[in-house]
């Protein structure tokens, strides 16, 4: 369900009485679950610098290469810009005891962090592995900011808040992500170093 759909419920008087009363909205139906059980997939980004210059960066050399890639795509429909920046992905298990994979991986040929706002990382040559929790146990909620139908909803993701620390444990599965790279000889020979500490920050996926 789209997040704005919850606003339609609230503004129509459908939901918990106490929440509706905060905004002077007359209740027409008591429905305690409105806005509850919001689930989001937290992820961490593990970055590695590379000795090669075949990825994407905003360094002087990298910007020149991007310009060349732009014309390569414009006239030949080939090159790095022909597809999504997420070159590869897959699913793995956080431990042998897990029956169905509970981690999703995305591989990017760029040092990508903080949704692209980390310019220091973007200026380096390297690649990133996004590690995402497939079945999070943390739960958030969506509530009203006001009775104004044009106002956006109030969203509380509550990432990594589950009592059993299930989501955190998955993201911090011991040494797993570094070894994924170490085992790949085609990558390891050009590997610089692990650029960003594992689980430096949790991001919305």
**Whole-number pLDDT of residue 140:** 93
User: Domains in the chain, please, with CATH?
Assistant: 37-204 (3.30.560.10)
Residue 34 has pLDDT above 80, yes or no: yes
**Whole-number pLDDT of residue 32:** 87
**Whole-number pLDDT of residue 39:** 92
Model confidence pTM above 0.85: no
- Which residues are CB-neighbours of 203 under 8 A, at least 6 positions away? 42, 43, 44, 45, 114, 115
Q: What 3-state class would DSSP assign to 194?
A: strand
As a residue count, the chain comes to 205
Q: What 3-state class would DSSP assign to 143?
A: strand
Residue 11 has pLDDT above 70, yes or no: yes
Other CB atoms closer than 10 Å to residue 90's CB: what's the count? 11
Q: Say how far residue 115 (Cα) sits from the centre of its chain.
A: 8
Residues 76-108 pLDDT 10s: 999 888 888 887 889 988 888 899 999 998 888
CA distances from 59 to 64, 78, 135 (A): 8, 22, 37
Residues 147-176 pLDDT 10s: 888 888 889 999 999 999 999 988 887 456
Give me the DSSP letters along 23-77. Answer: TT---SB--TTTT--B---EEEEEEEEES---S---SHHHHHHHHHHHHHHHHHS
């Amino acid at each position: 369900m789209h997040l704005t759909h919850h606003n339609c419920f609230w503004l129509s008087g459908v939901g918990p009485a106490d929440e509706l009363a905060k905004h002077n909205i007359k209740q027409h139906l008591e429905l305690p679950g409105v806005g509850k059980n919001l689930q989001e997939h937290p992820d961490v980004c593990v970055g590695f610098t590379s000795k090669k210059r075949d990825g994407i960066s905003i360094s002087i050399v990298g910007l020149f290469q991007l310009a060349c890639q732009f014309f390569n795509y414009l006239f030949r429909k080939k090159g790095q810009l022909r597809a999504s920046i997420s070159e590869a992905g897959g699913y793995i298990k956080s431990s042998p005891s897990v029956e169905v994979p509970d981690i999703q991986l995305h591989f990017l040929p760029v040092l990508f962090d903080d949704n692209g706002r980390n310019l220091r990382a973007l200026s380096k040559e390297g690649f990133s592995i996004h590690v995402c929790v497939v079945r999070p146990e943390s739960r958030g909620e969506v509530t009203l900011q006001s009775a104004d139908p044009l106002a956006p909803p109030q969203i509380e993701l509550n990432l990594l808040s589950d009592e059993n620390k299930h989501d955190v444990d998955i993201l911090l599965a011991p040494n797993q992500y570094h070894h994924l790279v170490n085992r790949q000889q085609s990558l390891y020979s050009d590997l610089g170093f692990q650029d960003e500490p594992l689980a430096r920050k949790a991001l919305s996926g």
